[in-house]
Amino acid sequence: MDSSVLLYNQLKAAEPFFLLAGPNVIESEEHIFRMAKHIKSVATKVGLPLVFKSSFDKANRTSSKSFRGPGLEEGLKILEKVKTAYDLPIITDVHEASQCEAVGKVADIIQIPAFLCRQTDLLVAAAKTGKIINIKKGQFCAPSVMVNSAEKVRLAGNPNVMVCERGTMFGYNDLIVDPRNLEWIREANCPVVADVTHALQQPAGRKLDDGGVASGGLRELIPCIARTAVAVGVDGIFMEVHDDPSNAPVDGPTQWPLRHLEELLVELIAIAVFICVGGRGVTLYRSHPRSMSRNVYTSKHADQDQIELPPQRGQAIVVVVCPKKESETFDFPALIFLPMADNTRNIRNICILAHVDHGKTTLADHLIAGTGSGVVHPKLAGRLRFMDYLDEEQRRAITMKSSSIALHYKDHSINLIDSPGHMDFCSEVSTAARLSDGALVLVDAVEGVHIQTHAVLRQAWIEKLTPCLVLNKIDRLISELKLSPLEAYTRLVRIVHEVNWIVSAYKSEKYLSDVDAILSGPAGDVGSDENLSFLDVEDDEEDTFQPQKGNVAFVCALDGWGFCISEFAEIYASKFGVSAAALTKALWGPRYFNPKTKMIVGKKGVAGMKNARPMFVQFVLEPLWQVYQAALDDDGGGKVMLEKVIKSFNLNVPPRELQNKDQKVVLQAVMSRWLPLADAVLSMVVRCMPDPVAAQAFRIGRLLPKRQVLSDGVDSDALAEAELVRRSVEACDSSPEAPCVAFVSKMFAVPMKVLPHRGLDGEIENNVSDEGELNECFLAFARIFSGVLYSGQKIFVLSALYDPLKGESVKKHLQVAELQSLYLMMGQGLTHVASAHAGNLVAIRGLGQHILKSATLSSTKNCWPFSSMAFQIAPTLRVAIEPTHPADMGALTKGLRLLNRADPFVGVTVSDRGENVLSAAGEVHLERCIKDLKERFARVSLEVSPPLVSYKETIEGNVADKLENLKFFRTSSDYVEKKTANGRCTIKVQVIKLPPSLTKVLEDSSDLLGDILGGRASQTSKSFDTEISRIAEDENPIEALKKRIMDAVESDILSSGDDDKHRVEKCKLKWQKLLKRIWALGPSQVGPNILLTPDLKGKGSDGSVLICGSSHVSQKLGFVDASGIGNTPADTSSEVAQALLVEAESLESSVVSGFQVATAAGPLCDEPMRGLAFIIEAKIEPLMAQSDEGEASHHQPEQYGIFRGQVMTTIKDACREAVLQKKPRLVEAMYFCELNTSTEHLGSMYAVLGRRRARVLKEEMQEGSPLFTVHAYVPVSESFGFADELRRWTAGAASALLVLSHWEALPEDPFFVPKTEEEIEEFGDGSSMLPNTARKLINAVRRKKGLPVEEKVVQHATKQRTLARKVKIDMEKINSKNCLKSTFSERHDALFLEAEEFAPGSLVPRWLLSSYHGTTSPTPMESPL
């Protein structure tokens, strides 16, 4: 966002008003600096946004001898120095169009003088600078004239305009301020400023001693005019201030004394507070200058005593005391009594979760505005997007970073976290969910449940959050879809039921196969109705979301209104003479009101009645429809209805809003006061969501799972203290004596200027950047789960791998840090706090060098780390980055390190070729990361490669008879046999494809397997703790994983459709035997490939010994006992055999290493293998020169290199060759794509999908709308630029959301050539065959990796025909080109050769082959694989 737009939005949102203040004209550089310093200190103290004002030239003087200022050039230099020195925005005026360009380079606001307010050329020139334009109303103009002046600025392309009232000529040499003008001038539809000093000017009204005249003024009346303007409700105050007005060279009589500025501003703020609370008995208290530490506040009135308030986290100026002796505070910027509750039971930690564009940030705006905090004005709520503080967020109108704000509502402190809805930023959803106890799940009432709605509900279920449902955009059902109340009710019921079905499916044991059928279904018939049967899940449990329980709200966030059923129940309770609780239960569902019997009945009770409607329709929706229709009535006949609503509910609606010409404004004014959105939602939050004490007791199994201590030699004291800490977290113990435990969900970077410049006691802080010249500071986003956290505290930082029972062995996972400062997050700002207790959210400074992404903080090192967060997807989009100038490589490396810390989901690695690879979740995420690198962290020019797409390699596995396939695997002679270079080791390798369900379990459980096996866990979308979250607290995770593996194998066998139970049981038995022989997993020890131990044991008949291996993976997974994993050694009667066995055991690691290397880089394009099982039989033979005395083999020199290396390399080559023999296939990642478009653009959308190799799953029309929803699978490699192309071809009418779904093997054989007559007939002889997609992808990957690629320079050469029947051949010329080495046949075919690398039977000129290969003979093309 442009800085002018940002400043403009800040000024519009300023509460109670913003201040434009400074001396009339620049007198000297020293004077202007002194004035800027003092005015800024006053404005900061009272908490008003300040724009510093001064003029470089006063062109409109009474006398030509009057002082005018330093002039344009010198004046702008001085103002620029002031702007830089004090970080202040500048406003100054212009008098000629030629001045605008120069002034626009320095000033943030350009002011148009009153006498020039109608000068079109000047207004247009000023507007074109892009700066904010403040137009003063001419003394001779009516307020309506300013509408035209403001419109001139907008038509010039600048929407950032303000208008200023400065009085109207009344008689001679005098001005008068008509308060009505402050209302009428609002017709310009922009912020209104009141000039309270020039309004009291008396032009040429002061006689000088020398007989001349000058402008006079009534300085003593400035407070009177200012009070009037604030009471009316202006947006800003313009005030010229001077330290010595009596001796000021220009306009001294109308400049306010600097020494009285603070007193006047405090009084104006008090008036604004008085207006805000509707005049409830207000007493103004000011902070006692000598008692700041004791928080003593003294009344301004003599009859009031001093009061002492509880310690506050910030300096307050205004306290409002109501007649009931209850203190009420208002959160004006820097005048904030921070709502950090001391009672943990009064805290609510919530996050807002939803699909993109369903209204999260708009809802957050209204919740902030509705709590009376003053941070967001109610009129700007929904348009300001206060929680989107990044420029990129405002530009794209989507949330990218989760941000928090503390709100105060009815004695409750509510920590609200707004989270992104775009799938690219789902990691921010994870960080928000971990720190919250409840979730507001928003669903668009028109669009319904979308794919991200599934994802956020799943995240809430994993983190054990208490959700509440908010159905947003109810107004669209009325104004856009034109639904009747009954139709709207049917739609709302369907959405509530669908959300409940989703949650019920997550609660069931098979939620992965039911709810995720859309996302992770098999590549075949995924989109069929059978696979979408998760909507039919039956659950005996009570529905999670029930409007009659009060956890469902119906809202329109844009217009600021909303309600729960209980609010209408209270309205009708007295009318029906029943309790509100009983009526609440009847207002949802098939309940009807019988007007004859005055009773609430079921559907049978109104069987004979006409126009019977459910009570929700009759008593809730129909009144809403009537109000909307009345407000939007073009004939104006609806005013009676609106007046009736206003009178019935005693609403306080300003007349100017009711008289507004915009019907939408009138509707919003009535609805927001009748059904306030903030009250409806926040009351639901307080009522339905748990406090931290109750929430942590429920969530403890997710936050700190019970650890099984297997070793008997652990420190009992450490174990006891760790259990004490866990109990403190479970109880949310906030006492100072309790161990302090907090969890940091992410690190985020903020500019240094965002940090508060003053400490807790008002002292100026020396904020120094942690990163040197980058001027960035890293803060930790944390929640305190136990104890009290305070500034200056030394605390232990625990990583996820820390184990308090292992002592020194895990010392590298433990650090000690000192907390520099604690801040309360207030959306776009931060406020100092001295301490914070359990249940609160804080930002912590001082951990930037200790935490990379997340960590656990503890006051004791005997504490288990919190479980890791679960992420919905993995960062799959990768690009290589390098600086444009090689000298900037150091800056890029540092920038990548900072970006990796600032973004919880970004991945930074170095490839095998030494490239810096950046991994992101999607295109939007990648664009933001690159922008941050260029502008914030690295600040260098970058070169970004095309996306690096990840692939996998597998073999064809469509075998109908799985039992026969297993028998073939065990007894087949179809294996690859290789020998090491020295001939001592003979290796046989067989490969088979694993069941798809088993492969998926191994992939999803990679982190859990890494923890069990002790291997290096790979970067996957689900963490170890996500797997733990699926398991009951008392269930062994190893047993649960074993059960999942067995269930996966069984489901795959049953899905084959074999009705023979005997064969099914036999197949299951064979798989159970194979699972007992798992030697290793790969790649990286935890991948989706299995190495099985060989079936034979002992020494061969020829004296060789088999490397048996051991099934220790099966043992750790519980498939075999520890006693059953050893292999019986062969005959060890001779010393030679015994030495050979010892050598065989030492080579076991080489076999595993060869398997790991092979599965990490397959034969097609060096991509990892997936879903394969290998059996490797490696037999070693004794050395031929070995004597009978048992001479050791290692004493003889090995001319072929180290024997272990030979074994590893040979196994790698054998595995790759075995894959090539089994019809290799390329596996690519697939996105699940959800598209929405209108009917007329459906064809264009399908055209784009066709070009992207997409596979459409289903298409359905949204009920009650002309929109279609299409589900499809799109390959990741085809997704780059997909959204832009879709928008371009559909004129912006189609939108798409991509979610990483699954891996899918390409059915095409990369080496396919037509051979049989049927294939030649179908595909042609090569000249007409379509390009092989698999081969094209393989070649593209090989090129990127620098691997050899065979390409045909000319694919299909044909000889030019001539008119002559006989073609004379110059043999000498051909021979001179070394094209032929054999005798020509006398036949015409002599010039041609059948080329095997092309289609069989195709004729290719021999000279073409020669030139293609670069050789003199037509040697066949060698495969690079």
Cα 1374 to Cα 1377: distance, rounded to the nearest angstrom: 5
| Annotated catalytic residue 24 | yes
Cα 433 to Cα 419: distance, rounded to the nearest angstrom: 9
Exposed e or buried b for every residue in 802-828, given b needs 16+ CB within 10 A?
A: bbbbeeeeeeebbbebebebbbbbbbb
| Annotated catalytic residue 93 | no
Cα→Cα distances 38→7, 249, 433, 469, Å: 22, 20, 44, 50
Cα 792 to Cα 490: distance, rounded to the nearest angstrom: 58
| All residues at 6 or more sequence positions from 178 whose CB lies less than 8 Å from its CB, including other chains | 168
First to last CA, the chain: 51
Nearest Cα neighbor of 1075 from 1050, 1098, 1097 is 1050
Burial of 250 (0-12, 13-18, 19+ CB in 10 A): buried
Spatial contact of 981 and 1020, defined as CB atoms under 8 Å apart: no
- CA dihedral defined by 1211, 1215, 1220, 1222, rounded to 10 degrees? 140
Active-site hit among 9, 12, 24, 1025: 24
H or E element in which residue 643 lies: helix 639-648
Hey, what amino acid is at 883? Answer: P
Cα 644 to Cα 100: distance, rounded to the nearest angstrom: 52
Beta-carbon count within 10 A of 303 CB: 6
| Token digits of residue 1346 | 């620098």
| Token digits of residue 868 | 């890791």
Nearest Cα neighbor of 1154 from 1340, 1278, 976 is 976
Determine if the peptide bond prior to 1083 is cis (ω within 30°). Answer: yes
- Beta bridge partners of residue 788, listed in sequence order: 837
Cα→Cα distances 361→12, 403, 553, 748, Å: 18, 10, 17, 20
- Cα 239–244–250 angle (5° rounding)? 65
3-state SS, one letter per residue, for 724-754: HHHHHHHHCCCCCCCCCEEEEEEEEEEEHHH
Active-site hit among 12, 45, 53, 58: 58
Cα→Cα distances 19→11, 42, 266, 644, 828, Å: 9, 11, 12, 40, 20
Nearest Cα neighbor of 758 from 19, 99, 41, 212 is 41
| All residues at 6 or more sequence positions from 1222 whose CB lies less than 8 Å from its CB, including other chains | 955, 956, 991
Spatial contact of 1333 and 1308, defined as CB atoms under 8 Å apart: yes
Cα→Cα distances 539→464, 494, 512, 855, 1030, Å: 19, 17, 16, 38, 18
Give the total residue count for the chain: 1425
Q: Is 998 left (phi over 0), alpha (psi -120 to 50) or beta?
A: alpha
For 134, half-sphere exposure in the C-beta direction (CA atoms, 13 angstrom radius) is 30
- Beta bridge partners of residue 471, listed in sequence order: 443, 554
Active-site hit among 251, 357, 365, 1004: 251
| All residues at 6 or more sequence positions from 1373 whose CB lies less than 8 Å from its CB, including other chains | none
Cα 814 to Cα 808: distance, rounded to the nearest angstrom: 10
> 3-class DSSP state for residue 368?
helix
| Annotated catalytic residue 58 | yes
Cα 290 to Cα 401: distance, rounded to the nearest angstrom: 42
| Token digits of residue 668 | 């919003």
Catalytically active residues, by annotation? 24, 58, 251
